[in-house]
């Protein structure tokens, strides 16, 4: 049975899914529908504004630094240099149920000098489009064991992110010989992926 996490909670993936080596990290969100008015306005649908959210992964060392350029996986570089991380491609609108973007992780291929995987989501061209995460709802990150095809955990980001243009959703990290997951859910005002990268 999948474990539902709250902000700040940590869980041992090694204990909850013993023997798991390959996982799918799914990230999802929905644009908030604007309510249609009465009269003539009601003739127009309350179609949500299209918001292009991009999921990315920072591969960090023990000092929480991205010490190699190839350790950023995003829509412009779908596979890490080591082959342990594979992004399945960009979703431009957030429409539809379930995962909007998926990242495949092979724990056995992660290099010894990578201690942490940070999963982030930012809004593409947010400044020009005047978009922020207050216009997004139902955001989540989940992990599925590809060996058993079972969902291990899900973290629904329920905080208020109005005015925030990027989200640090969660982290997978090494600790005491185990792989663990931390539910972060931190909103930032970084306007681009390159601004987010400066943190690391």
β-sheet bridge partners, residue 167: 121, 187
Per-domain residue ranges for the chain?
3-32+49-197
pTM: 0.88
Give the model confidence (pLDDT) of 75-113 as tens digits. 999 999 999 999 998 665 445 568 889 999 999 999 999
Q: For residues 14 and 5, give the distance between their C-alpha atoms in angstroms, rounded to a whole number.
A: 16
Q: How many CB atoms lie within 10 A of CB 32?
A: 16
Report how far apart the first and last C-alpha atoms of the chain are (Å, whole number): 34
The mean pLDDT of 49-61, rounded to a whole number, is 88
What is the pLDDT at residue 57? 97
Residue 34, pLDDT score:
58
Q: Which residues contact 196 (CB under 8 A, 6 or more apart)?
A: 56, 58, 120, 122, 166, 188, 190
**Residues 153 and 11 sit within 8 Å (Cβ to Cβ):** yes
Summarised one tens digit per residue, pLDDT across range 148-171 is 999 999 999 877 888 998 999 999
- Which CATH architecture does the domain made up of 3-32+49-197 adopt? Sandwich (2.60)
């Amino acid at each position: 049975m999948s474990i539902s996490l709250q902000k700040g909670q940590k869980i041992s993936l090694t204990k909850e899914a013993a023997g798991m080596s390959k996982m799918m990290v799914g990230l999802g969100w929905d644009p908030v529908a604007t309510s249609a008015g009465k009269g003539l306005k009601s003739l127009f649908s309350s179609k949500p504004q299209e918001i292009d959210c991009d999921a990315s992964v920072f591969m960090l060392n023990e000092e929480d630094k991205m010490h190699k350029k190839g350790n950023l996986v995003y829509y412009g570089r779908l596979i890490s240099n080591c082959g342990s991380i594979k992004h399945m491609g960009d979703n431009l609108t957030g429409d539809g149920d379930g995962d909007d973007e998926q990242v495949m992780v092979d724990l056995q291929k992660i290099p010894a000098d990578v201690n942490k995987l940070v999963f982030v989501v930012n809004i593409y061209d947010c400044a020009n489009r005047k978009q922020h995460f207050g216009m997004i709802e139902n955001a989540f990150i989940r992990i599925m064991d590809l060996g058993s095809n079972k969902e291990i955990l899900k973290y629904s980001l329920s905080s208020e992110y109005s005015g925030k243009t990027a989200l640090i959703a969660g982290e997978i990290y090494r600790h005491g010989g185990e792989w663990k997951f931390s539910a972060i859910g931190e909103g930032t005002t970084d306007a681009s992926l390159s601004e987010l990268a400066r943190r690391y």
